[in-house]
Structure 1
Amino acid sequence: MTALGFLYPGHSGEDDYPRIEQLLGSDIRLPLVHTDIGEDAHREDALREMGSPRRLAAGVEELRLSGAEAVVWACTSGSFVYGWEGAHEQVRTLARTAGMPASSTSFGFVHAVRELGVHRVAIAATYPEDVAALFAAFLKAAGVEVVSVRSSGIVTAAEVGTWDADRVLALAREGDHPDAEAVLLPDTALHTVSHLQALESALSKPVLTANQVTVWEALRLADRRVNAPELGTLFTKEPIVQV
């Protein structure tokens, strides 16, 4: 049995995780601990506070007791808002505090893009324009070419968590770009797991979503690979061999 731990801010799209656990169909558990979200706002100062060391540390002991072998900070905006170097320091601090390998959703996107072997991506974000731009800058720092950024201007995770399948599909379509090899939807408050196959079918290209890549990143930390077509191309792709 492999247990992979997640620190998830507040309550919005966390029910994606039991869905993923069921779809993995193997000896993998995904214990999740909710962190204190503070102010629910996609605003730089609020996001930095949401991802502060003290807020993340508060949930670590519960994850240890769950038997987790690795931990992922299941928040994209609360990690990339620190910038490339700051996000690295965030997960290094989390790893030291937890005593286990650690990462975040933002790095999950970077590693997933590399896994797929794509170079040009489009961002379809629920965030306000300035926050979406910070995610684009984070990806560019990782060497990913961002060909377009679509911002929806939504301020709170609570509102994002109410979006249905039609609205998620509309966001992905609006955010797609002819030059993009993949489309990224970077908000863990957004319910996407039940829609991954429909999204990829509609866009005819890989779609990476926040909760999907968060779990994939935890599996990567634990050196586990699981084939699960319902979770999209990322969970069926043969690994890229680095030479």
Structure 2
Amino acid sequence: MSTTTATALGFIYPDHAAEDDYPLAERLLREAGTDVTLRVEHIYGTDLHAVPELLDLGSPDKLAHGASLLASSHPAAVIWACTSGSFVYGTGGAPGQVEGLAEAAGTAASSTSYAFVHAAQSLGITKVAVAASYPDDVARLFVEFLAAAGIEVVRMSSAGIDTAAEVGTLAPDQVLDLATSNDHADAQALLIPDTAMHTIGGLPRLESTLGKPVLTANQVTIWEALRLAGITAVQPALGTLFQERPHHDDVRS
């Protein structure tokens, strides 16, 4: 009798806020026939949405420590599951951050910021609205990061929430209100860029209300890990990004 072992995917998650999105996504993926284990390990720092704190949170030493915590599961890919702690490094520093993580982890690696870029590319999306939880100065760095990848932000809003812990307390109706209040008619998709926000359970409602794809931080982070591991997963409960469509040949690594 043969047995199969689930493919492990590793996520380095900062502090605690919405990490329970990952076991929920794992259950949904397994229900759809994708045999994966989503392993989450935590690193810690000040959870302020402020540039100096975010630079420290995504530092090489912290990410190497996160990679060491994941090593025993031999993940097929490791993702730095933090949007602001990756885009804050800008296009000059974000590639090196990922390269350093890949070296520390000994496997393919990426970050949530790059996951957003690759997910948009896979859907052929070039114009987006951004509904950010961050203060304005931090949110604008995400706009710059997207622009450098050829993604135009036609509307950007910032909720001005100072800490990840507070973002993690937002209820589904509050997340929906954030999305509907900050969409734009010219946007092909709405992006919600904070892994501290619970969104996995609300994706169908978000997309049906807005009538367009919604890309959220934990969703694209999981998709990016699957992509790097060479796994194509179809699970409509996880949004348009996980619906069956042609292979992602247009994604530029």
TM-score (norm 1): 0.97
> How do 1:1-243 residues align onto structure 2 when only pairs under 5 Å count?
1-25=6-30, 26-36=34-44, 38-238=45-245, 239-242=247-250
Contact in 2 for aligned 1:4/1:71 (Cα 8 Å): yes
How far off its partner does 1:62 sit? 2.1
RMSD: 1.1
Cα shift readout 1:138-187 (whole Å, capped 9, x = no counterpart): 00000101101010000000000000011000010112001000000000
The SS at the match of 1:40 is coil
Q: Structure 2 vs 1, CA of residues 41 and 182 (structure 1 numbering), >3 Å: closer, same or farther?
A: same
Identity %: 57
Measured in 2, the distance between the counterparts of 1:141 and 1:181 equals 18
How far off its partner does 1:69 sit? 1.4
Q: Structure 2 vs 1, CA of residues 159 and 229 (structure 1 numbering), >3 Å: closer, same or farther?
A: same
Cα shift readout 1:9-57 (whole Å, capped 9, x = no counterpart): 0000000000000000131000110011x11100001000000011111
Question: Where in structure 1 are there 5+ consecutive unaligned residues?
Answer: none
Q: Structure 2 vs 1, CA of residues 51 and 82 (structure 1 numbering), >3 Å: closer, same or farther?
A: same
- Aligned pair count? 242
Residue type of the partner of 2:209?
A
Question: Where in structure 2 are there 5+ consecutive unaligned residues?
Answer: 1-5
TM-score (norm 2): 0.94
Contact in 1 for aligned 2:122/2:249 (Cα 8 Å): no
Residue type of the partner of 1:228?
Q
Contact in 2 for aligned 1:123/1:175 (Cα 8 Å): yes
